[in-house]
Amino acid sequence: MSIHIGANPGDIAETVLMPGDPYRAKWAAETFLQDVVCINEVRGMLGFTGTWNGHRVTIQGSGMGMPSLSIYVNELIKDYDAKTLIRIGSCGAMQEHVGIRDVILATTSSTLSTPSIGMFKELNFAPTADFDLLHKAYHAAESKPSPVHVGGIYSADVFYDERPDLNEQMTRHGILAVEMECAELYTLAARYKRRALAVLTVSDHLITHEALPSEDREKSFGDMVEIALEAAFA
């Protein structure tokens, strides 16, 4: 086991879905997987392994923000040899044509900083999704009722943002949505030669100020989980 993941060797599958919320990990595992076993409860960051259509899958919470996600992705790769990591999470739309409950497949993620920023010094590294996963996710999404959008997103390192000027520039340059984890996930995947993708559901809107009530969020996230699973095993 690692410092922050209490799983034993062999407990974690090569394919890992990563919601930020540990209770969303529990909901997704109980809803979509069979023969589910809880493999991690360290610091309340729940993880579960089960099967989907005969394939082993782990669903592990990552916490909020890139520093937290970085801990779990590093340990999943280094200590448990995870091969495919797919973030499943919520995001805030930044374009008028993107609606509440829509699904976004992130091709790349812009950011002010990540835990990896010191490694690149003056270089502005552009982290990107795995194209094979992205391609398969798009085809999976076409059969779902939720509209799907493909493009760049913004990974913020603060939740209570006080930079309206920056949000305006993100919108101006076609950024679809904002969340808090994807850029570091894609950077770590590139570093360790792993596959990564972010499949996101729009839970609120920075322009219209619409938002899903918390009790409706889980019910709206089923398409996102199914798209991630189908992309991983297509």
Set 11, 79, 157, 204: catalytic member: 204
Question: How confident is residue 219, by pLDDT bands cut at 50, 70 and 90?
Answer: low
pLDDT, tens only, 67-115:
999 999 999 999 999 999 999 999 999 999 999 999 999 999 999 988 8
Give the model's pLDDT for residue 113.
85
- The per-residue pLDDT for range 102-161, each reduced to its tens digit, is 999 999 999 998 888 888 888 889 999 999 999 999 999 999 999 999 999 999 988 888
- Residue 11 appears among annotated catalytic residues: no
At 218, is the pLDDT very low, low, confident or very high (cuts 50, 70, 90)?
low
Annotated binding-site members for phosphate: 20, 24, 43, 87-90
Give the mean pLDDT of the chain. Answer: 94
Q: Which CATH architecture has domain 15-233?
A: 3-Layer(aba) Sandwich (3.40)
Q: For residue 219, which of 150, 153, 146 has the smallest C-alpha distance? A: 146
In the chain, where the domains are located: 15-233
Residues making up the annotated binding site for a purine D-ribonucleoside are: 4, 179-181, 203-204
